[in-house]
Amino acid sequence: MNINIPYNGIKYFTFAESADFLLQNGDLFGPITIAYETFGKLNDNKDNSILVIHALTGDTHATSGYDMDDSTPGWWDTMVGPAKPIDTNKYHVICCNVFGGCMGTTGPSSINPATGNPYGKDFPLITVKDMVNVQKKLIDHLGINRLKSVIGGSLGGMVALEWAVAYPDILETTVIIASGYKTSPQIVAFYEVGRNAILADPEFADGNYYDGKGPQKGLAIARMIAHITYLSKTSIEDKFGKNLQEDVTEDDLLKFRFGPMFAVESYLRHQGRKFVDRFDANSYLYITKAMDMYDLTSGGATLLDVLTNIKSRTLIISFDSDWHFTPQDSWHLVKAMMNLGKDVTYVNLESPFGHDAFLLENGELERVIYSFINNSKGGK
Amino acid sequence: MNINIPYNGIKYFTFAESADFLLQNGDLFGPITIAYETFGKLNDNKDNSILVIHALTGDTHATSGYDMDDSTPGWWDTMVGPAKPIDTNKYHVICCNVFGGCMGTTGPSSINPATGNPYGKDFPLITVKDMVNVQKKLIDHLGINRLKSVIGGSLGGMVALEWAVAYPDILETTVIIASGYKTSPQIVAFYEVGRNAILADPEFADGNYYDGKGPQKGLAIARMIAHITYLSKTSIEDKFGKNLQEDVTEDDLLKFRFGPMFAVESYLRHQGRKFVDRFDANSYLYITKAMDMYDLTSGGATLLDVLTNIKSRTLIISFDSDWHFTPQDSWHLVKAMMNLGKDVTYVNLESPFGHDAFLLENGELERVIYSFINNSKGGK
């Protein structure tokens, strides 16, 4: 199993060699390697950097548009690149793989120097705050004291929000897309069932499966469950309806057993299988758990208490058909920031594509982000 | 594994001993035993029967209220019983386990007389129409030519709708609750993932698991997925929020691994485990597939074509927070019937409880059903 993708431009920064990185749970951990790519040039003032944060299963490769020899699509090619809304002719874009991930940054599939084997379940339970603190080490390493923006969708939006709360003096702007200050219990429930499917797979082997084939079936099921929540009811209806899959005829239907009959079924199975080839099941467990635990109001804090520190201009974007992170989830955050008199802009965009909308070409999404970043109001 | 529940009042009727029951797929099948209970007395005219149809995982035991010695709760105790909205002092209520089920009626866990072993995957792929035709045999056996009503929710609503279409001259009224003329592709997708979880469990053993413990983990995961779709987003929020489960403290959180942290997680795991003790995984595969395949417009028919036969007064009920079968799903049916000039009544009830609402005490639901059944307009 080799799931690390060696993009041409990938770079690595290793720190905490003496295991002195303080986790939110109070333990010390290290070493930590952070994998990252940069697109565009850092200016002399070192104040033109935009940190772009990927979602649950993303990686460092935000765009293929910067390097003309690069034929590997980036996960946000619609947004990041030369003359794109996040313009790499103007900005120095940094995209790093999150702590706990499996695309180059230290995670449960990394080698534990104490044993010479992958950490597996000996990897510590990490949080969104830990992800931010690891990224902060990279920003310091690059000599950057001021970020033009931190931008992310879904998990990336939580990470961006946590940046704005934890490091208010560093950020000029924050863009939080299709996200919230906590995961709703409905979405926790779906992720929990997905985790159960991984844990129930005999190939999971208590997390130490790196010599075997790993919990491929369990991970595929987890991905399929989550994938349905990324699509809207209408986008599934429009894309598949009750169409039969290609090699199935109406006559076959009643002779069939339990293979996929409908196009939506074979599509989902394909999504599940494809995911298994590129993602580590332990990373899936750890990162979804970090998302589920993230809650700015845990421990009895009010949202007003926590958000009061924020100094960056903030743009919050939701999509009307998103039921994974709903417009209501964004609105809770917006209301609290407005109550605090913060400089916050909220846009609820129309899209039929549900939660996935933030990764797709939208038109308005690109214009809104471009205007917001390049608007000097309240900025430097 | 013994999942058949021998209720005191359960009765059995066996037919098609010479394997001459014609399935929708064109094959002949038999023998078929149908398990049923009756509550209330059949009158001399034999025209006071109400056929109550259970949902995906239900059984014959609609009520415990009729027999005072019966301490086993019925699945619809709020609705059926003496002086209840479906009044067993007045009506003869029949509730049978559906064809393909595992609560007494012939299904994949029944013994195949040809082999002496359970059918397993040799059971034929059955349809909602087959379920209705099997129930029709029971009605004939009881000497009933006219049903006061056929009533069901969810799968039971599909079965009731199919009764109204297939046997228009027998039904005086039809009540279709939280259902539709087809399952939406979103819900097909969730059931498909559930079926995948069962098929992926090594204990499934290609469906011949009756000597072993069976695919308990897979079935539990399938149930957990479906269960989330039975609840509304707000009912999960109201019931659990992000409350921690009983023995977990805030301090524990960051020391935890992948056991359930939140109350909603342990609730779901409990639902999964409980289900495995009472339901057969093969029945789950066959019945969910029958639901997914049900579509009155398959084969190119229009809804108007198919519904034109209906002669019964029809009551269609949806719940505003139901996203498993949405108000829109009911409304498609209602519009078509109104276009055809049929005697149809539609009520969209308020409830925070999502799809589960039809099984819960509601107040309005009970009154609406009582009034509709007892209203003589257009009836006999």
CA-wise closest residue to B370 among B151, B163, B155: B151
| Cβ <8 Å between B125 and A256 | yes
Segment A116-148, tens digit of pLDDT: 999 998 999 999 999 999 999 999 999 999 999
Q: Tell me the C-alpha to C-alpha distance, in Å, between residue A216 and each of A273, B301, B366.
A: 8, 41, 47
Residue A237 parent element (H or E): helix A233-239
Residue A229 tokens read as 């929540």
Contact between A38 and A81 (Cβ < 8 Å) = no
Backbone angles phi, psi at A53, to 5 degrees: -110, 130
CA A298 to chain centre: 21
| Cβ <8 Å between B228 and A190 | yes
Report the C-alpha gap between A44 and A37 in whole angstroms: 19
Angle formed by the axes of helices B281-293 and B216-230, nearest 10° = 40
Q: Is A90 left (phi over 0), alpha (psi -120 to 50) or beta?
A: alpha
Report the C-alpha gap between A193 and B193 in whole angstroms: 11
For residue A23, give the chain B residue with the closest CA.
B254
Residue A45 tokens read as 């003032």
| Cβ <8 Å between B255 and A125 | yes
CB interface of B with A, residues 9-68, below 8 Å? 23-26
The count of residues in chain A is 380
Q: What is the pLDDT of residue A306?
A: 97
Backbone angles phi, psi at B8, to 5 degrees: -50, -45
Instruction: Please calculate the CA angle B73-B38-B292 and round it to the nearest 5 degrees.
Output: 75
Contact between A330 and A322 (Cβ < 8 Å) = no
Contact between A332 and A339 (Cβ < 8 Å) = no
Instruction: Please calculate the CA angle A128-A134-A135 and round it to the nearest 5 degrees.
Output: 90
Which of A49, A110, A154, A179 is flagged as catalytic? A154
Q: Tell me the C-alpha to C-alpha distance, in Å, between residue B255 and each of A130, A171, A292, B261, B272.
A: 14, 31, 15, 11, 26
Segment B95-140, tens digit of pLDDT: 999 999 999 999 999 999 999 999 998 999 999 999 999 999 999 9
Q: What is the pLDDT of residue A218?
A: 96
The most distant pair of C-alpha atoms in chain A lies apart, rounded to whole Å, by 69
Q: What is the pLDDT of residue A8?
A: 76
Sign, CA torsion B43/B372/B176/B349: negative
Q: What is the pLDDT of residue B261?
A: 77
pLDDT > 90? residue B240: no
Q: What is the pLDDT of residue A292?
A: 94
Report the C-alpha gap between B235 and A352 in whole angstroms: 25
- Closest partner residue to A197 (CB to CB) among B189, B197, B240 is B197
- Closest partner residue to B228 (CB to CB) among A189, A201, A323 is A189
Instruction: Look up the ipTM and state it.
Output: 0.91
Contact between A140 and A16 (Cβ < 8 Å) = no
Position B140, amino acid: D
Q: What is the pLDDT of residue B20?
A: 97
Residue-wise DSSP of B13-82:
EEE-TTS-EEPTTS-EE--EEEEEEEES---TTS--EEEEE--TT--S---SSSSTT--SPPTTTTTEET
Q: Tell me the C-alpha to C-alpha distance, in Å, between residue A123 and each of A96, A206, B250.
A: 20, 13, 20
Q: What is the pLDDT of residue A89?
A: 96
Q: Is residue A223 within 8 angstroms of chain B, CB to CB?
A: no
Report the C-alpha gap between B269 and B266 in whole angstroms: 5
Half-sphere exposure of A95 (CA within 13 A, CB side): 33
Cis previous bond, B202, omega within 30:
no
For β-strands B21-22 and B28-29, DSSP reports them as: antiparallel
Position A182, amino acid: K
**Residue B111, SS3?**
strand
Report the C-alpha gap between A181 and A177 in whole angstroms: 11
Residues whose CB is less than 8 angstroms from the CB of residue A17 and which lie 6 or more positions away in sequence, other chains included? A30, A31
Segment B331-363, tens digit of pLDDT: 999 999 999 999 999 999 999 999 999 999 999
Report the C-alpha gap between A69 and A87 in whole angstroms: 18
The count of residues in chain B is 380
| Cross-strand partners of B95 | B37, B52
| Cβ <8 Å between A292 and B261 | yes
| Cβ <8 Å between A237 and B184 | yes
Q: What is the pLDDT of residue A2?
A: 42
Q: Which of A128, A131, A196 to mutate to test the interface with B (most CBs of B within 10 A)?
A: A196
Banded pLDDT at B69 (limits 50, 70, 90): confident
Residue A260 has what DSSP assignment? -
Q: Tell me the C-alpha to C-alpha distance, in Å, between residue B141 and each of B13, B124, B152, B289.
A: 8, 24, 21, 28
Exposure b/e, A56-84, CB count within 10 A at least 16 = b: bbbbbbbbbbbbeebeeebbbbbbbbeeb
CB interface of A with B, residues 175-204, below 8 Å? 182, 184-186, 188-190, 192-193, 195-197, 199-202
Position B95, amino acid: C
Dihedral angle computed from the Cα positions of residues A286, A287, A293 and A296, in that order, rounded to the nearest 10 degrees: 140
Shortest alpha-carbon distance between residue B201 and chain A (Å): 7
% of chain B with per-residue pLDDT over 70: 94
Q: What is the pLDDT of residue B325?
A: 98
The label of the residue with tokens 């700015």 reads A296
Q: What is the pLDDT of residue A379?
A: 42
Half-sphere exposure of A131 (CA within 13 A, CB side): 33
CA-wise closest residue to B231 among B352, B344, B98, B71: B352
Q: What is the pLDDT of residue A380?
A: 40
Which of B49, B154, B179, B266 is flagged as catalytic? B154
Cis previous bond, A31, omega within 30:
yes
Alpha helices in chain B (DSSP H): 128-141, 155-166, 185-200, 216-230, 233-239, 250-253, 263-276, 281-293, 303-307, 327-339, 364-374
Contact between B209 and B215 (Cβ < 8 Å) = yes
Exposure b/e, B2-27, CB count within 10 A at least 16 = b: ebbbebeebeebebbeeeebebbbee
| Cβ <8 Å between A298 and B250 | yes
- Closest partner residue to A236 (CB to CB) among B185, B265, B298 is B185
Q: Is residue A250 within 8 angstroms of chain B, CB to CB?
A: yes
Contact between A162 and A128 (Cβ < 8 Å) = yes
What's the predicted TM-score (pTM) here? 0.93
Q: Tell me the C-alpha to C-alpha distance, in Å, between residue B40 and each of A287, B48, B59, B97, B150.
A: 56, 10, 18, 18, 16
Report the C-alpha gap between B258 and B142 in whole angstroms: 54
Report the C-alpha gap between A176 and A196 in whole angstroms: 29
Residue A325 has what DSSP assignment? S
B154 carries an active-site annotation: yes
Q: Is residue A341 within 8 angstroms of chain B, CB to CB?
A: no
Mean pLDDT of chain B: 93
Contact between B317 and B177 (Cβ < 8 Å) = yes
Q: Is residue A260 within 8 angstroms of chain B, CB to CB?
A: yes
Low-confidence ranges of chain A (pLDDT < 70): 1-6, 247-259, 376-380
Backbone angles phi, psi at B147, to 5 degrees: -105, 130
